[in-house]
Amino acid sequence: MTAGRPTFAFLVRHPAHFLALGFGAGLAPFAPGTFGTLVAVPIAHGLRMVTGDLGFALAIVLLFAAGVWSSAVTSRHLGVSDHGAIVVDEIAAFLLVLFFVGAEPFREAVAFLLFRLFDIVKLPPARDIDRRMHGGLGVMLDDAVAAGYALLAFALVVRLQAALGVPA
């Protein structure tokens, strides 16, 4: 297959495709990165229910590593270095964000908006990583940088909220 839009048949043809395309979220007809990011929310809630912080953190590390592999395989099969349908990077990166912001719905919503903003804007070094690093690691790293920016911005919002005396 080449750079066209992946199909359901492509999704289920290989385990790497299934993971890289976010269990099907990457097949969304518009904004697949947004749909992929949303996949992280129920995963995070499930991890919070069945694991402690160590299990949650380990799941993020394992998903990141599996994402490097699956996005490399899927990119090769699609013939595009970082196809928009590949959303495992958004899932892993947003799981990292959710690990730190907690499970309160308003905090998750603010974190979601911040992460999507930084994932789309791609501030340095995310833009350089996106342009220069090809393969699975490049796919995963630019979103990890976006997660870092989102967490920094989230921390600033929390500090500003506290400084202004706005209840949490």
Q: What is the pLDDT of residues 124-140, one digit of tens each?
A: 998 888 888 889 999 99
Q: pTM of the prediction?
A: 0.94
pLDDT of residue 64: 98
Q: Where are the alpha helices (DSSP H) in 21-104?
A: 32-50, 53-78, 88-101
Q: Where are the domains of the chain?
A: 8-163
pLDDT of residue 2: 52
pLDDT of residue 134: 85
The series of mean pLDDT values per 10 residues for the chain, 168 residues long, is 82 98 97 97 97 97 98 96 95 98 95 97 88 91 97 96 86
What six digits make up the tokens of 49?
């229910």
